[in-house]
Amino acid sequence: MGFKHKISSAKLFLIQNILHTPERELTGLWRNIRKLVSVIRITSKHFLDDELQLRASALTYNTLLAIVPILALLIAIAGGFGFEKIIESQIMESFPAQKDVISTALEFVDNYLKFSRSGVVIGIGVVFLLWSVISLLSNIEKTMNKIWQAKERSLYHKINDYTSLFIILPILMILSSGTSVLITTFLKDAGETFSFITPLIYKLLSLSPYFFTILFFTVAYMLIPNTKVKFKYALVAGILCGIAFQVFQFLYLNGQIWVSKYNAIYGSFAFLPLLLLWMQLSWLIFLFGVLLTFSMQTADYGNEDNIKKISSQYYDFVMLVISCVVVQRFEKGLPPLTLQNISTSYNIPIRVAKTIINKLIDAGIFIETLNEDERVPSYQPAFDISKLSVGMLLNRVDVEGAGEKNFRVNRKDKYKLQWDTVVAARKGMYDATNDILVKDLKIEQPQK
């Protein structure tokens, strides 16, 4: 009994204390355990809630439509520098599991570019090419922003960022290929001089696909979401998911000997279900990395287990806390805080803070401002803070930011008494707090 009691006590401590204690208040091993368990819980919960498999399916469809236009754009840009063959070989090496599909796609690309150069309906072709590419990248960004609870970039920033990406990507692929060739040539010319390290260097070169996949995933996790992502978390997710992607490529490539039944069923179209399966699982690995990055970065921002069970009273309390922070920082001339600043400093679950801030914006209490890098919004009062009372705050959120009221329940006739009673009760609450200004409810400000 004594041993079982200790096990039960340990479980109780782990669940009721560690997971509900901010990381900064723990030290040593308990802090690491709390972090790990929080990341696992957040990741597994949002994997289902955010419907990652459905999002991966949508991106698979978008990718299938955009694969030829994307390859055409990359090769056209590289062709301007005379490096189209290098890009083609790099694409083949990057996706060894889909060499047949890419080979066929490159034939389409060649015909597409010849057709475009001939001048036949070139305008329509260019518009379709750009629309396909921008649509895919926009959907990728939208999916990542939904996981991060971030707003989308403006159209100007999308065009600017996507154009930069497609100019830089071929250059990086050319440099990658050139570096490998340069090292190989150097080792051959050196002969026996560096023979003792030659096997090691060749081994490292064989691992270069892992390195570039990890680099690509890490950079994507950092730069694509329209929010500030910490490098260390993007790197951890990039390493785990980059290795997982390469292992999946290897298993897929070597496992095709077991899928001969598809040839019997689909014939020459056997590649299509296999391609769709490969794309679906590849996107799932990539999106899991996005979710893992989000989970690691937000594990400190409060326990999210009971967000759906939050009471209306506690909701109003958190809304007042956030309002006091924003208003009083404005009054003191301090820099405005971002969503993550607020969540971290006051231990408010980030999704609760985001929902409340959005309601305050809709009610005209807050406005968004962009900080120096124009990626992460911060928040300031939308009007004269000397007029913002607690009553006005609650009233505006209830009346102007509450959303739709025209449902089928008849509040103007059949149930008018019930509606009027609720309105009167809320009005009494507004009136009772109308003389209390938000700026006078002093609150501790974070040291930032």
Domain carrying residue 405: 307-440
How far is Cα 180 from Cα 201, in angstroms, rounded to an integer?
10
Pairing of strands 366-370, 377-381: antiparallel
3-state SS, residue 389: strand
Percentage above 70 pLDDT, the chain: 69
Mean pLDDT of 357-379: 81
**Residue 407 maps to a domain:** yes
pLDDT on residue 414: 75
Domain termination residue (choose one: 298, 330, 355): 298
Residue 121 has pLDDT above 50, yes or no: no
pLDDT on residue 321: 92
Using the structure block, give the residue that is written with the tokens 């960022």. Answer: 161
pLDDT on residue 240: 95
How far is Cα 137 from Cα 111, in angstroms, rounded to an integer?
24
Please report, for the chain, how many H helices and E strands are present, in that order. 17, 2
How far is Cα 270 from Cα 325, in angstroms, rounded to an integer?
60
Q: What is the CATH number of the domain that holds 326?
A: 1.10.10.10
> Based on the domain organization, do 32 and 163 belong to the same domain?
no
* Cβ atoms of 72 and 109 closer than 8 Å: yes
pLDDT one-digit tens code per residue, 236-248: 999 999 999 988 8
> Based on the domain organization, do 436 and 315 belong to the same domain?
yes
> Based on the domain organization, do 282 and 421 belong to the same domain?
no
> Based on the domain organization, do 11 and 66 belong to the same domain?
no
Q: What count of other Cβ atoms lies within 10 Å of the Cβ of residue 154?
A: 11
Residue 388 has pLDDT above 70, yes or no: yes
| Cross-strand pairs, 379 | 368
> Based on the domain organization, do 196 and 66 belong to the same domain?
yes
> Based on the domain organization, do 291 and 359 belong to the same domain?
no
* Cβ atoms of 19 and 37 closer than 8 Å: yes
> Based on the domain organization, do 235 and 311 belong to the same domain?
no
Residue 435 has pLDDT above 60, yes or no: yes
**Residue 447 maps to a domain:** no
| Cross-strand pairs, 381 | 366
**Residue with the larger pLDDT of the pair 50 and 373:** 50
Mean pLDDT of 182-198: 58
Q: Considering all CA atoms of the chain, what is the largest pairwise distance in Å, rounded to the nearest integer?
A: 96
Residue 374 has pLDDT above 70, yes or no: no
Mean pLDDT of 288-298: 90
Mean pLDDT of 93-121: 68
> Based on the domain organization, do 36 and 70 belong to the same domain?
no
How far is Cα 143 from Cα 133, in angstroms, rounded to an integer?
16
pTM: 0.71
Q: What count of other Cβ atoms lies within 10 Å of the Cβ of residue 423?
A: 13
Give me the number of domains the chain comprises: 3
> SS3 for 324-380, per residue?
HHHHHHHHHCCCCCEHHHHHHHHCCCHHHHHHHHHHHHHCCCEEEEECCCCCCEEEE
Q: Which two tokens stand for residue 331?
A: 């009054």
